[in-house]
Amino acid sequence: MERLCRELSEEAACIVIQSQTQLTVVSSVMHYGSMARGPGECNFTLESDKSKLGPVLQKALHEKLLMLLRARDLGGYRVLLNLQPVLLRGFMVQPNYCLFQDEAAEPSSSDPASHAVAEFLFQNGFESVSDIDGSGWSPLHYAALRGEPLLIQGLLEQRADPGCKTRKANPNHGTTVAGVEALDICLSHRNNEAGRLLMLAKASPHSRWGLASACMGDNAEGVRMLCEAGCSPLARDRFGNSMTSIACMFGSLAAFEELAARIDSEALDPLTLSCALDDSMILRGHGALAQRLIELRADVNAQRQAVPPLSSGLGMAVSIMSLLHRLGKVTPLTASCFHWEGRTPLMSAIMSGQHDGAAVLIAARAQLDLRTARGWTALDFAREQSLPAFLLQALLKEDREPCELVASLVDGSGGYVQEYL
């Protein structure tokens, strides 16, 4: 909730302190569209707090929309206007789509879908369903953010192209690539009813980003829907990442479980699981996901092999990140690429500050003396960080008992481990 309100403020840039020696300036570019879940879907100690926070977020969204209009940022306005139901999901408050009064509009009881389209186009500043705005998105793409089946149906009835692809990356949404379809957007935000309507209208389930979008959004139902439509759970993206790895990168335990249930045990081999474990630790994984991967035979001591060749997408990405690290851009991601060969999941967890994940790995008997090709151990990475006592106890004194206690407290929510001082 605090993070989202910060991103909705007038000056969204902030400093994230990662340790006594490392900090990161987070850009002011909005990226709330990349949030897999809104605050209302998180675990609350007191459920009654939701009734207090819902109106706060509702007002923050309204103020941000007005701010974007004053700044004439139509791309940002359209994203946030239609993303409201996703960000408010779990709270007992309703989105406000009507910032302008259309005096000429008259509700139509005979054709509610057509009326929904007319109101949508007016509030978003579009003239027709075939418009493409400066961000390279069509009305159908923005409607996919909202996820209302009636609106999607109305747009399709007015001949909106269900397979239309975005023409640009859209930083307002957190989308870094072009070629995204409305179905992909529905799946990434778990707007599954709208997604089914698009598939009935012949939107291809085999789109470039479809299954990956469902994995990134922890959309188990979306994964099931696409696999039942013929998508392979063994598919890989253009960088060679498996769908299981993509789910793990984004901490998507529910999506991972749906994939795992559809993959033969021989295909879900220890090497694939070990790569997924390391991917999860360097990005958005968590202790509960690490525990599940270990249960399925992931090797906690697996070391990354040599950097893939430059001819591959992954090899190019790793080489670029490694070069940036040499040039002084030190982040967990660039460091992980610089130390690619020989890196273990424990090293990745320490680099990215995933303390509960590191505790789970140590409790699972991760070796502490393994080295990367550059000669670094887990302890060397720890010296770059400010770690909690339970990890220092294990790394400095090889006392695993505190980590075993922390690992026993990890649950499936992907939440934080609190250390009381």
310-368 pLDDT, tens per residue?
Answer: 888 788 889 999 999 999 888 878 888 999 999 999 999 998 889 999 999 999 999 99
Q: How far apart are CA 381 and CA 23, in angstroms?
A: 15
Residue 412's pLDDT is 53
Predicted TM-score (pTM) of this structure = 0.86
Angle at 215 between CA 240 and CA 299, to 5 degrees: 60
C-alpha distances out from residue 303 to 88, 134, 273, 295, 373, Å: 41, 45, 12, 19, 10
Residue 217's pLDDT is 92
Residue 421's pLDDT is 45
Question: Which of 55, 26, 54 has its CA nearest to residue 39?
Answer: 54
Residues 6+ apart with CB under 8 A from 319: 307, 310, 337
Q: How far apart are CA 54 and CA 177, in angstroms?
A: 32
Q: Per CATH, which fold does 112-268 belong to?
A: 1.25.40
Type of residue numbered 137: W
Report which DSSP code applies to 170: B
Q: Which residue pairs from 267-271 have beta carbons closer than 8 angstroms and sit at least 24 positions apart in sequence? A: 267/234, 268/244, 268/296, 270/297, 270/298, 270/299, 270/302, 271/302
C-alpha distances out from residue 387 to 23, 366, 373, 384, 417, Å: 14, 17, 24, 9, 12
| Secondary structure element (H or E) that encloses residue 5, with its range | helix 2-7
273: helix, coil or strand? helix
Report which DSSP code applies to 97: -
119: helix, coil or strand? helix
Q: How far apart are CA 359 and CA 340, in angstroms?
A: 21
CB 91 within 8 A of CB 40: yes
CB 150 within 8 A of CB 112: yes
165: helix, coil or strand? strand
What does each of the 421 residues of the chain score in pLDDT, given as a tens digit? 888 888 888 876 777 776 666 666 666 445 555 666 789 998 888 999 999 999 999 999 999 999 999 999 999 999 999 999 999 999 989 999 988 876 655 655 678 999 999 999 999 999 999 999 999 999 999 999 999 999 999 999 999 999 999 999 888 888 878 899 999 999 999 999 999 999 999 999 988 888 999 999 999 999 999 999 999 999 988 778 899 999 999 999 999 999 999 998 888 888 889 999 999 999 888 999 999 999 999 999 999 998 888 888 788 889 999 999 999 888 878 888 999 999 999 999 998 889 999 999 999 999 999 999 999 999 999 987 888 999 999 999 999 999 999 999 886 554 455 554 4
Which single residue is written with the structure tokens 């529910």?
254
